[in-house]
């Protein structure tokens, strides 16, 4: 049984070495086939017709590794001014900051009042605050990546929020 399979495989492999024919049609297009056609000529395939690929190994470049240049961002609070008194009975006021150079996409700004993040992280350097309690507060604006890394931070800005009290000074009676 094995002998029959071996003979069959040898016959198939001999058949695969068939002659290749080349001919040109009336439009000038060249055709190749294993079946003879009119005006076809047999082509002898030499070992030279096999594809040979040579791979050039790239030369190593003498490049010294460079450290990534880290961009230094500058954040400063532009409003309210240092030690300013903000007067609002509802505790509403606006904090504005400036950032240089422009932050890359995906970096957000956060506002901390007395070390606590008060507003949602945002792209805009203008924060609208509501319901802040009266008293002395420290403001800081941070540039934060989505992973939570702080890229830059402003200097702390001290402000005073003044709210009128119902309990005013006693009035003199007559």
Please state the CATH superfamily assignment of the domain spanning residues 74-162 in this structure: Immunoglobulins (2.60.40.10)
120 by DSSP, 3-state: which? coil
Residue 102 φ/ψ, nearest 5 degrees: -60, 140
More confident residue, 49 or 124: 124
DSSP state letter for 89: T
Q: What does DSSP assign to residue 122?
A: B
Q: Give the pLDDT score at 105.
A: 87
Q: How confident is the model at residue 63 (pLDDT cuts 50, 70, 90)?
A: low
Measured from the Cβ of residue 106, the count of other Cβ atoms closer than 10 Å reads 9
Model pTM greater than 0.75?
no
Cα 56–Cα 61–Cα 66 angle in degrees, nearest 5: 145
Average pLDDT taken over every residue of the chain: 83
pLDDT at 65 over 60: no
């Amino acid at each position: 049984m094995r002998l029959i399979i071996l003979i069959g495989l040898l016959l198939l492999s001999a058949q695969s070495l068939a002659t290749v024919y080349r001919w040109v049609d009336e439009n000038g297009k060249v055709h190749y086939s294993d079946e003879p056609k009119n005006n076809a000529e047999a082509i002898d395939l030499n070992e030279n017709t096999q594809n040979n690929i040579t791979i050039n190994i790239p030369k190593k470049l003498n490049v010294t590794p460079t450290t990534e240049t880290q961009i230094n961002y500058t954040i400063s609070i532009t409003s309210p001014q240092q030690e300013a008194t903000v007067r609002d009975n509802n505790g509403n006021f606006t904090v504005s900051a400036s950032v240089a150079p422009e932050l890359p996409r995906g970096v957000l700004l956060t506002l901390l009042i007395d070390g606590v993040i008060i507003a949602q992280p945002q792209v805009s350097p203008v924060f609208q605050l509501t319901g802040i309690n009266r008293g002395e507060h420290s403001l800081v604006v941070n540039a934060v990546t989505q992973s939570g890394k702080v890229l830059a931070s402003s200097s702390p800005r001290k402000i005073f929020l003044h709210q009128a009290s119902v309990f005013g000074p006693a009035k003199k009676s007559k």
